[in-house]
Amino acid sequence: MKFSDIKNPAIIVFGNHTATIQSMLDFDYLVGRQKPSIKAVVGVQQKVCRYFFGNQEILIKGYSELAEVPETVRELIEMVGVMQSARRALTCIEQSIAQLPKLKAAFVFAENVTEQDALKLRDISSKAKVAVLGPASVGILVGGGWKLGAIGGITPMQVIDSGTLAPGDTVVVSTSGGIVNEIINQVTHSGGRLAYATAIGGDLWPATKPFEIFKMALDDPEVKTIVYFGELGGHDEEQVAKIYSETRNKKLVIAYIAGSISEHFDSPQQFGHAKAMASSELETASYKKKILNEAGVHVADGFADFEQLINKFVSKTKQEQTIIKEIKEPRMSALFVDNISKEDDDGVVRILGEDILAFTKDRSLSEIALAMFSGRKKSSEQLKEFFDVVLKLLVDHGPQVSGAVNTMITARAGSELPAGLAAGLLTIGPRFGGAIDQAAQNWFAAVNDEEKAYDFVERFAKNKVYIPGIGHRKYRIDNPDPRVQMLLKNFDKGGPYTNFANEVAKITSAKKANLILNVDGAVACLLLDILQNSEKMNRREIQLTLDSGFCNALFVFARSVGFIAHFLEQKRLDEGLFRLPDGMVISEEG
């Protein structure tokens, strides 16, 4: 395998490292790619991550775990960039190898990965034949191809100046992430172009070693020059020298080994990178220079010499870097993301992407509400029917309930409809109208935590809390609520949530005859089963739906009809200001 064989990669990034991710997308755009290479950001709480593709703002899907990324996306992924903490690095690569069948290359950005983890990282990645750069790597860049990591620069200007947007035949291998960009610049400003550049990372046990990149480059007929930056410490150069002296595919190699300063200290010194320490003669910069020299490598005396050698010997390619696309900075970020509707420049209103006339043509009002509430244009027949029935049942519940009373009082006080409706809606919460939402959350958590119905009931009893969705003022086990019976008859297909709710009701109603499954509890469990079985939502999607307030939306939408009706009637009757009669309020003092 060689990096330049990957032409149009699909990439997943772990960790929302904005500057790096943006620079990878800028590279995509500047080399003329039509679509962003990054398909998902994993390890984030956001559902969408905002970036720019060129001058246009885009949204990349965010997931907290790799397993949540749809399989259709996962099976396309060829590379991953791991920019999460040192603690997570090994797990990210393990999961990627297990879950991404096409995975070919990766880089790990974190510093301070433990030696034990680093050794495991090398072990699993070499077994899986995945080229993992790092830990402590700034990534891989293929000239004119793609950029994985911060390598090559993080602003559009740096990327353009780095001269890496056109392909070439020079390979850069560097143990230092900071220096790699300096070398790339030296190569391109000397008239060379990159086949690819890699940052090995300065750790003791890198997952990919310099000699392995050398092997890849020496076996690649398209590569003409290799430029290498190494440091004191370790024995990498022995392997490089060996492989280079044995190969028949000689290419021009220019190398610099940093760390001659170390020889001026009395005792071995640890420098900035973990590997940068010469404990023995064989780890010194001068020894490494000597063996590379003997193997036939052009070894620089100092950095100035290194730059001159690159200037003189690097393969001068004819490939011009022409910038066809332009990125205008600063790029403005939108203030909101909204996928529900928009008014286009031509004045046409589109709902969920469709012209409002077309969108509404064959949909009932409840179907429109369902589509807009859920943000999904298509729903199962089962859900549509259920949603419609529930809306109808919730439309009103008599004038005595809190919300209706509030609306009527407001109407009689002379306020306008918006005030009256708002007064009614403001009562909706944990004790009025909110029971569907609470019941749904409870049924959902209990079933997914595999809590037994008995334990569930005991938990509430112990805490002296009513179970939302259980109990009715009038209906009893021997006098069941006809609405609940109708709902169960039409929509209960034996789903786990409805089964659980029924089991709970069986236990509670045995304690007290009116502790039956009420209409809120029934709507909640049936809705959950429909979301799971008919809508095929996974656990995360259902949780998201619940947390967004979908159940309350049902109630608010339906009951607004009732409140408006009560308001209008009060206005028509015009009975004047309402005041509680004397004696209707008492105090503790009597």
Partner 1 sequence: MRLEARQPLIGYNVNLMARVKLSEFRAKKLIARQLGYDYEGISIDFEDNNSQKAVSKLPEGSYVVKVDQATKKRNKLGLVKLNRSKTEILDDVAAMAAKGYRYFLAEPIVKHDTKVERFLALMRTEQGIEIHYSASGGVDIEEHPEDVTKLIIAGGSQKLIKLPGLSAERLGQLIELFNKNHMVYLEINPLLIEDSQLTPLDAAVEVDSTAELAVQGAWTGNDVRSSNTQKTDSEKAVESLQAISVSALTLRVINPDGKILLMLSGGGASLVVADEFDAHGLSDELINYGEYSGAPNEEELYKYALATIKLLKDSRATKKIIVIAGGVANFTDIAVTFKGIIRAFEKEKDYLKKNDVSVFVRRGGPNQQKGLTMMEDFLIKIGLKHKVHGPDVSIARLVKEVAEEVKR
Which residues form the catalytic set? 273
Beta-carbon contacts of 172 under 8 Å, excluding residues fewer than 6 positions away, are 180, 183, 184, 187, 194, 196, 197, 198, 226, 227, 228, 229
In angstroms, what is the minimal distance from the CB of 141 to partner 1?
A: 13
Residue 301 makes contact with partner 1 by CB under 8 A: yes
| Contact in structure between 108 and 193 (CB atoms under 8 Å) | no
586 scored as a contact of partner 1 (CB under 8 A)? no
In whole angstroms, the minimum distance from the beta carbon of 135 to partner 1 comes to 9
User: Alpha-carbon torsion 155, 158, 163, 168, what sign?
Assistant: negative
Q: Does 280 bind partner 1 (CB under 8 A)?
A: yes
Of the listed pieces 256-264, 385-393, 544-552, 573-581, which binds partner 1 according to CB under 8 A? 256-264
Beta-carbon count within 10 A of 303 CB: 14
For partner 1, give the closer residue by CB, 138 or 383.
138
Closest separation between CB of residue 277 and partner 1, Å?
Answer: 5
How far apart, in whole angstroms, are the C-alpha atoms of residue 190 and residue 497?
68
State yes or no: residue 112 binds partner 1 (CB under 8 A). Answer: yes
Whose structure tokens read 């009562």?
A: 427
Site residues for partner 1, window 113-142 (CB under 8 A)? 113-116, 119-120, 122-123, 136, 138
Identify residues 2-21 at the interface with partner 1 (CB under 8 A): 19
Q: Quote the tokens at residue 94.
A: 């393990």
Nearer to partner 1, 134 or 469 (CB): 134
| CB 427, CB 402: distance < 8 Å | yes
Is 238 one of the binding residues for partner 1 (CB under 8 A)? Answer: no
Q: Which is nearer to partner 1, 119 or 368 (CB)?
A: 119
Q: Of 97-105, 272-280, 335-343, 520-528, which part binds partner 1 (CB under 8 A)?
A: 272-280
Closest CA to 88 of 67, 109, 58: 109
Residue of 111, 212, 236, 237 interacting with partner 1 (CB under 8 A): 111
Q: How is residue 380 written in tokens?
A: 């199962």
- In sign, the C-alpha dihedral spanning 385, 547, 543, 466 is negative
**CB 61 within 8 Å of CB 357:** no
CB of 136 to partner 1, least distance (A): 8
75 counts as binding partner 1 under rule CB under 8 A: no
Size of the site for partner 1 (CB under 8 A): 62
Which is nearer to partner 1, 185 or 407 (by Cβ)?
185
Per DSSP, the three-state class of 95 is helix
- Per CB under 8 A, the list member of 58, 76, 86, 553 interacting with partner 1 is 86
**Residue 446 DSSP SS3:** helix
> Which C-beta is closer to partner 1: that of 143 or that of 206?
206
507, 477 contact by CB (below 8 A): no
Question: At its nearest, how many Å lie between partner 1 and the CB of residue 280?
Answer: 6
> CB within 8 A of 373, min separation 6: which ones?
550, 553, 554, 557
Beta bridge partners of 517: 470
| Cβ 198 vs Cβ 225: under 8 Å | no
Task: Give the nearer residue to partner 1 in terms of CB position, either 86 or 561.
Answer: 86
548 forms part of the interface with partner 1 (CB under 8 A): no
| Whole-number Å distance between alpha carbons of 227 and 308 | 12
Q: Does 186 bind partner 1 (CB under 8 A)?
A: yes
Q: Choose which of 127, 264, 474, 489 interacts with partner 1 (CB under 8 A).
A: 264
Should residue 72 be labelled a site residue for partner 1 when binding is judged by CB under 8 A? no
Measured in whole angstroms, the distance separating CA 358 from the mean position of its chain's CA atoms is 33
Near partner 1 by CB under 8 A, which window of 38-46, 302-310, 346-354, 534-542? 302-310
Residue of 18, 279, 448, 548 interacting with partner 1 (CB under 8 A): 279
Contact between 271 and partner 1 (CB under 8 A)? Answer: yes
Considering beta carbons, is residue 167 or 233 the nearer one to partner 1? 233
* Closest C-alpha among 191, 221, 438, 428 to residue 318: 191
Which has the closest alpha carbon to 36: 51, 46, 49?
Answer: 51
Is 26 among the residues that bind partner 1 (CB under 8 A)?
no
Quick one: which of 153, 123, 157, 151 has its CA closest to 138? 151
3-state secondary structure of 59: strand
270 binds partner 1 (CB under 8 A): yes
Dihedral pair phi/psi, residue 203, rounded to 5°: -75, 165
Among 78, 169, 203, 529, binds partner 1 (CB under 8 A): 203
Please report whether residue 202 would count as binding partner 1 according to CB under 8 A: yes
d(Cα 296, Cα 87) in Å, to the nearest integer? Answer: 41
Interface residue list for partner 1 (CB under 8 A): 19, 86-87, 111-116, 119-120, 122-123, 136, 138, 150, 153-154, 158, 174-179, 181-182, 185-186, 202-205, 229, 231-232, 258-261, 264-265, 267-274, 276-277, 279-280, 285, 301-307
